[in-house]
Structure 1
Amino acid sequence: MRWDYPNPFILPICASAAEIDEFDHVNNAVYVQWMEECAWQHSIELGLGFAEYQALDRGMAILRHEIDYLASAYEGEQMEMATWVAYSDQRLKMDRYFQLRRVADGQTLLRAKTTFVCIELSSGRPKRMPPAFVQGYGAAMLPEHARPTTV
Structure 2
Amino acid sequence: MTEQARPAPAWDVQNPFVQSITVGPEHLDAFGHTNNVVYLQWLEKVAWAHSVSLGFGFEDYERTGVGCVARRHELDYLAATFAGDELLAATWIHENDGKLSMWRRYQIIRAADGKTVLRGQTHWVCIDMKTGRPRRQPEAFLKAYVPALPIPA
Structure 1: which 4+ aligned runs deviate by more than 3 Å?
Answer: none
Residue of structure 1 equivalent to 2:148? 142
Q: How many residue pairs get matched? A: 143
> Secondary structure of 2:51's match?
helix
Deviation of 1:2 (Å): 1.4
Unaligned runs of 5+ in 2: 1-8
> Secondary structure of 1:34's match?
helix
| Higher Cα radius of gyration | 2
1:117 aligns with 2:148: no
Residue of structure 1 equivalent to 2:62? 54
Residue of structure 2 equivalent to 1:18? 26
Report the structure, 1 or 2, having the larger helix content: 1
Deviation of 1:131 (Å): 1.3
CA separation in 1, counterparts of 2:78 and 2:10?
17
Cα RMSD of the aligned pairs, angstroms, is 1.1
Unaligned runs of 5+ in 1: none
CA separation in 1, counterparts of 2:108 and 2:33?
15
Q: TM-score, normalised by structure 2?
A: 0.90
Deviation of 1:142 (Å): 2.0
Which residues of 2 match residues 30-109 of structure 1 at below 5 A? 30-109=38-117
Q: TM-score, normalised by structure 1?
A: 0.91
CA separation in 1, counterparts of 2:20 and 2:44?
13
% same residue: 43
